[in-house]
Every structure is written in structure tokens, then in C-alpha cells.
Chain A
Amino acid sequence: MIPDERGYFGEFGGRFVPEVLIPALNELNEAYRWAVDEPSFQEELFRLSRCWSGRPTPLYEAERLSELKGGARIYLKREDLLHTGAHKINNALGQGLLAKKMGKKRIVAETGAGQHGVAAAAVSALLGVECVVYMGEEDIHRQAPNVNRMRLLGAEIKAVRSGSKTLKDAVNEAIRDWVTNVESTFYLLGSAVGPHPYPLMVRDFQSVIGREAREQVLSLRGALPDYVIACVGGGSNAIGIFYPFLKDEQVKLVGVEAGGCGLESGKHAASLAAGKIGVLHGAKSFLLQDEFGQIQSTHSISAGLDYPGVSPEHSYLKNSGRAQYVTVEDHPALDAFHILSKTEGIIPALESSHAIAYALDLVSTLGKDQSIVVNLSGRGDKDMGIVGSILEVNQ
């Protein structure tokens, strides 16, 4: 069984946390195992996923995008259409309901791009619990619209000024808060990282993406796709769409990491492509670290991919060869952002633009009878500020 009882995906995962959190993780694991088999929990999650989050999301054939490169068919899994604008709501809703069942009155969350923070804030409002979101100061500046949305939804935003002032440091602060308020507080972790059972739980809550996509592509084409492509920061949208395809061995799974300014520049966030195995935020996985085991600062144009670690399950899939991981740099991602906007009338998140960029490269190498499913994990409204400032610079 993957993961095993200790939360290991092969050699990756585990629980590397301060002693204080062990009872909390045991409690969470027990509650989660209850929820998996509890019809009333699953029904409530299903009901709210439909009428509150907006599931199921469509699988859309991007014909103009396919024609542009004259190759295979491209299908977009439209997680961008979800409430709050990204796949993050799937997991936030699941964990939020669990927090409520566990009797927790307070939720803490970390956020990078702000999408998980907004999702956590919205779910907290829906469930009537207090919400505190930790966000790096750097990210607060580059994702200002999301900060306002979180405040409007009633969350308290705490600026993180330590370290690189981005997602990694926001996770540190959220964990410190949890350690301190462990009795009252639920840590709503936004990606498939962290100590067991988070990577498992987040993957399960996000697998709805892949389950729907698999059914949809089968009914549209009568066949499985040749490729499934998703961007990878922490890796939750990718594991969510990959997981239900894992046993379909003919389907190639490709995760796209943020190449930033290029791997050789050192300014990137490609943990799988350029990292070494290590331990961060409670799990063993590939990590961007220096020769002394210090975690390195990362760079990506997209705040949501700007993280030095990755889900232990992706590390496992990389080593087992079941999934392949590639990188796309800032500029091609930005180009893809524009191309999708102009050809399909869909503004993708900068995170998802990395997956689109790789799909555009790939599509011209494939035959017309082949097909690609791309997880369009979020919408790009939040990125107008950063893209706007780049446009101004270029004009």
C-alpha cells in the first residue's frame, strides 16, 4: 500500500516533526481514516463540492490551441472555473470539513500565491471557524488582490518576514503556530507535502480532478489520453490529476516544474530536476539545498511554484519512473499565458501556464490522433499585477 502506515511512499515521506505534533498527527490520521469510510462525511463533501465549489469542472477541448501547433488534441481540465479560482478549494473544503468534525475552532494555513489562503479563508467562513493565514511578505506584495480577498472573507493575514519571505517561510510560521496552539488549532496544509498523513490526505482530496478527467476523456474520445500534464510546485494539482491514471500505464504523466531563469542560473524552483533528497517540513523528499543541507531560496515568476520542496509521492513517482518531470522557465510560461488568453479566451494562472507551455512544445511532436490532458489548475486574474508590470517594462 502506498503510502505505508508510517506515511512512506517508498523511501519518501514520513513524519519529521517536533514531538509536540506527534499526538496531533495521530489524532488527524485517525480522524481522516474515519472520514474516508464515513458515508455522511463523504456525502457532505460531495454536496458542497457540487453546489458550493462548482464541481464537476468541465474537460474542454482547446481546438484553436491544438491547431496553432498543428498536432495532437489538447484537453484542458478546467479547475480554473472552480470557486475561488483554483483547484486549492478541493483540498481546503475536505480538510475544513474534517477540522469541523474534529471540533477545532481555529484554522491556520500557509499560502504562496494566495490561492490556498483564499480557499482556506472561504471554507473557514462557510464553516464558521476562525482562520489565520501566514503569507510571506514578498508574496503579499506580488499577490495583493488575493490578500484583499482573504481579508474580505474574514481571515487574519500574518506577514512572514523570516528567511526568503515566501511560501517556505510561511509554512515554517504556520507550523510554529500549530505547535503552540496544538489543542485548539487545525493546520490546513495546502499542498501534498508535510508530515504523514498530509501528503496522502491532500492527494485524496485532489484526486477528484483525475477521476473526473479520466471519465470525461473516455466519454469524449472513447480512449485514454497519451499524456497527462500538470505543473508542480508542492505538487497537489499534479498528484490530484495523476493519481487516478497511475494504473493506466500507457498514459504518460508529466509534471512541469518552475525553471525560473534556467537551472544553470540557480534561480529556479525545480526540486525534482535539480534537488537532492532531504527533510523539510516534516517529510523526506527531493529538496533544493546547498552542500551543507541548508534549504536554498527559490525563484519562479509564479508564487505558487516558488517552493524548495515537493510532495514525497512525486519523488517516489520520479524514482520509480512512472512519471516524468520537466522544467519550463519563466519566459515560455509567460508566453503560454498570453497564447492561451488570445487563442481560447482563457486567462490561466502563471502556475498552470508552465504546464500549458510544455504542452505546446509537446503537441507539435505528436500525431493528430494523439491527445493530451492538461490540468488548468487555476485562473490568472490574480496575476494581472505581475504580468501587467512585465508588459509595461517590455513596452
Chain B
Amino acid sequence: MMRIASVFTEKKHAALIAFITVGYPTLEATLEAVPLLEKCGVDMVELGIPFSDPLADGITIQQASFEALQNGITPAACLDAARFIRKKSNMPLIFMTYYNPVLSYGQELFCADSSRAGIDGLIIPDLPLEEAGALEESTLNHNLDLIYLLAPNSSEARIREVADRSRGFIYLISVTGVTGIRENAPLGLNEFTSKVKKHTDKPLCMGFGISTPEQAAHVSKSVDGVIVGSSIVHIMGTQKQWKPPLSHFIRSLKKAIQTAK
């Protein structure tokens, strides 16, 4: 849809994309965090709908998902949150969740309701190309971008197919692994991104394991967007007064991306 694409047009620097788990540590925190993230320079937000068995996630987002579910967060509550946020912001909003909650809600209805709530795209990490036909159709019916993922070990043939079918952007997984805070910047970054760039002009955004301004700066040189999740979720979950450290962290990420050489 237009909102996601517009982030990448006329952009001098890589976009900064933030992930937060809806309802963690509280629903109120989610609703307050999004405007704050935007104010500090975030260009796009991924709202994580918690799932009981998040097998692509590391310990930080596992824990956040678990607590959000304990807080009674449902897909309907996430839709309400999106609606609330959309009233105040024109920033692109993406739902990130696993396939079963979507299937259980009803794929067509989920896409219709997401679209109506002001959501612009979906990321479903356990739904590879082969299985995504029905959901892809529903997202097309409701003007949502279905964003596919590629991994460093994806074959050329898959890169071509994802390049063809992914809408909004292509999500590059920086490492073979799960989400989470890592000490080192991903290896073989240029090799991976140039392999993908051979097949597409679509925007490439990289996530998984990017948790410091240095890593964000490093990655931003090769891609159109940098996705940061676990370290944001970690700040919100472990610090009672999370707003000042979150603002500081986001600003430092933004600055690092803007000054990356």
C-alpha cells in the first residue's frame, strides 16, 4: 500500500523500523510508545500480535509475548490498539504475528479488519511462499502489503520469487537464527544484500539481531531499512521509567543511521 512505499521514496538514509509487542509490558505502554517512537525518528512500526509458541523468536520476545498473553491481549485488542494509534499518526503500521492466530481469526476477516484499523502490511515469519497463497489473496483484496522474508541461505530461485511477490519491502533476516540481542554485527552482509539486489529494486529491510547504534549504522549502508525489535522490547520491559531510555536509544539509532558512512 502507499504508506509503506512512501517511506522509501525520496529517502536519503535507511528507514528506521521499530518492533514492539502489543500489550507488553502493558497495553497502555504500547499506545504511548508508538507516538514516542515516531517523535524520536522511527519511520515505521511493527506491532507484534503475541502468540503462545513464537518459534522464530529469541528469549526477549518470547517473554514479552508470554506476558502480553497473560495480560489478556487478543488479536481484537491489537486491532483496537492499531485503530487508536492510527487516529494520531500517519506512519506505516505493520502487524507481525504467527500464522495460527490469523488462521483462527479467519484470513479474509483478519485482513479486512486490519485494513480498516489502519494497518498497512503483514509479516508472518512461519508462513513461507509455498503456504501463503490464500493469505496473499486476502491481503490483495484489502490493500495490505504481505511482506516476505529472505534468509542468508535462501536459494537464488527463492530470492527471485520473493522479489516478485513481496509487497512493501523485503525482510532480510540478518543471520540464520531467531530474533534477539546479539553482540556482533552480521557477517557476510554485503554478499547477501548484493545477491538479493541482483533480482529486485524493491526496498530491502534487515532485521534479527540488530541491537546497537553501531550495528544499525553498519547495516544501514547496505539496505533501505533497519529493523530493531528485541532491544526496544527489552528497554520497555525491564525499566519502569522506560520512556527516557527508549527516547535516548531511538535517537542514537537514528543518528547512527543518518551519519553512517
Nearest chain A CB to B149 CB, angstrom units: 5
A20 is an interface residue with CB less than 8 A from chain B: yes
Within 8 Å CB of B102, what residues of A? 293
Within 8 Å CB of B80, what residues of A? none
- CB contacts under 8 Å to B, within A161-192, are 162-163, 168-169, 172, 175-176, 179-183
Nearest chain A CB to B22 CB, angstrom units: 13
When each residue 99-139 of chain B gets 1 if its CB lies under 8 Å from chain A and 0 otherwise, what string results? 11111110000000000000000000111101100000000
A337–B55 CA distance with the chains assembled, in angstroms: 36
B104:A292 contact, CB within 8 angstroms: yes
B225 is an interface residue with CB less than 8 A from chain A: no
Within 8 Å CB of A281, what residues of B? 53, 55
Within 8 Å CB of B62, what residues of A? 162
Q: List 26 A-B contacts (CB under 8 A).
A: A16-B131, A17-B126, A18-B149, A19-B148, A19-B151, A19-B158, A20-B153, A22-B151, A22-B154, A23-B155, A169-B53, A172-B53, A176-B58, A176-B178, A179-B55, A183-B176, A279-B98, A280-B53, A281-B53, A289-B100, A291-B104, A292-B104, A293-B75, A293-B102, A293-B104, A294-B51
Chain A's closest residue to B62 (CB) is A162
- CB contacts under 8 Å to B, within A9-32, are 14-20, 22-24
Residues of chain A at the chain B interface (Cβ within 8 Å): 6, 14-20, 22-24, 162-163, 168-169, 172, 175-176, 179-183, 276, 278-282, 287, 289, 291-295
Residues of chain B at the chain A interface (Cβ within 8 Å): 51-56, 58-59, 62, 66, 69, 74-75, 98-105, 125-128, 130-131, 148-151, 153-155, 158, 173, 176-178
A332–B168 CA distance with the chains assembled, in angstroms: 56
Which of B98, B99, B127, B128 is most buried by chain A, counting CB atoms within 10 A of its CB?
B128
Within 8 Å CB of B105, what residues of A? 292-293
With A15-B128, A175-B55 in contact, do A279 and B99 touch (Cβ < 8 Å)?
A: yes
A18–B178 CA distance with the chains assembled, in angstroms: 9
B104:A19 contact, CB within 8 angstroms: no
Known pairs A18-B55, A183-B153. 5 more at Cβ < 8 A? A16-B126, A19-B151, A19-B154, A172-B55, A175-B55
Name the contact of B56 in the complex, choosing from A6, A18, A163, A293 (C-beta under 8 A). A18
With A292-B75, A293-B100 in contact, do A19 and B55 touch (Cβ < 8 Å)?
A: no
A18:B130 contact, CB within 8 angstroms: no
Shortest beta-carbon contacts, A-B, top 7: A293-B104, A293-B101, A20-B151, A180-B177, A294-B52, A293-B100, A295-B52
B101:A294 contact, CB within 8 angstroms: yes
With A291-B104, A293-B104 in contact, do A176 and B55 touch (Cβ < 8 Å)?
A: yes
Chain A's closest residue to B104 (CB) is A293
A226–B186 CA distance with the chains assembled, in angstroms: 60
A279–B105 CA distance with the chains assembled, in angstroms: 13
A232–B225 CA distance with the chains assembled, in angstroms: 47
A15–B158 CA distance with the chains assembled, in angstroms: 15
B176:A16 contact, CB within 8 angstroms: no
Name the contact of A182 in the complex, choosing from B126, B153, B155, B158 (C-beta under 8 A). B153
Chain B's closest residue to A6 (CB) is B130
A180:B178 contact, CB within 8 angstroms: yes
Nearest chain A CB to B136 CB, angstrom units: 14
With A183-B176, A293-B101 in contact, do A163 and B52 touch (Cβ < 8 Å)?
A: yes
B178:A16 contact, CB within 8 angstroms: no
Which of A18, A182, A280 is most buried by chain B, counting CB atoms within 10 A of its CB?
A18
Within 8 Å CB of A22, what residues of B? 128, 151, 154, 158
B151:A15 contact, CB within 8 angstroms: no
Nearest chain B CB to A234 CB, angstrom units: 15
Within 8 Å CB of B99, what residues of A? 16, 279
Which of A182, A282, A292, A295 is most buried by chain B, counting CB atoms within 10 A of its CB?
A292
Chain A's closest residue to B175 (CB) is A180
Within 8 Å CB of B69, what residues of A? 294
With A18-B149, A294-B51 in contact, do A280 and B100 touch (Cβ < 8 Å)?
A: yes
Nearest chain A CB to B106 CB, angstrom units: 10
Name the contact of B101 in the complex, choosing from A24, A162, A180, A292 (C-beta under 8 A). A292
Nearest chain B CB to A138 CB, angstrom units: 16
A19:B173 contact, CB within 8 angstroms: yes
A5–B238 CA distance with the chains assembled, in angstroms: 47
A295:B53 contact, CB within 8 angstroms: yes
Nearest chain B CB to A333 CB, angstrom units: 27
Nearest chain A CB to B51 CB, angstrom units: 7
Within 8 Å CB of B56, what residues of A? 18, 176, 179
A162–B104 CA distance with the chains assembled, in angstroms: 23
A163:B74 contact, CB within 8 angstroms: no
A289:B55 contact, CB within 8 angstroms: no
Within 8 Å CB of A287, what residues of B? 100
A282–B53 CA distance with the chains assembled, in angstroms: 11
Chain B's closest residue to A294 (CB) is B52
A345–B131 CA distance with the chains assembled, in angstroms: 50
A18:B125 contact, CB within 8 angstroms: yes
Within 8 Å CB of A176, what residues of B? 55-56, 58, 178
A23:B53 contact, CB within 8 angstroms: no
A281–B51 CA distance with the chains assembled, in angstroms: 13
A289–B173 CA distance with the chains assembled, in angstroms: 29
Nearest chain B CB to A287 CB, angstrom units: 8
Name the contact of A278 in the complex, choosing from B103, B149, B154 (C-beta under 8 A). B103
Which of A22, A278, A281 is most buried by chain B, counting CB atoms within 10 A of its CB?
A22
Chain B's closest residue to A27 (CB) is B153
Chain B's closest residue to A291 (CB) is B104
Within 8 Å CB of A291, what residues of B? 104
B104:A16 contact, CB within 8 angstroms: no
A16:B53 contact, CB within 8 angstroms: no
Within 8 Å CB of A175, what residues of B? 55
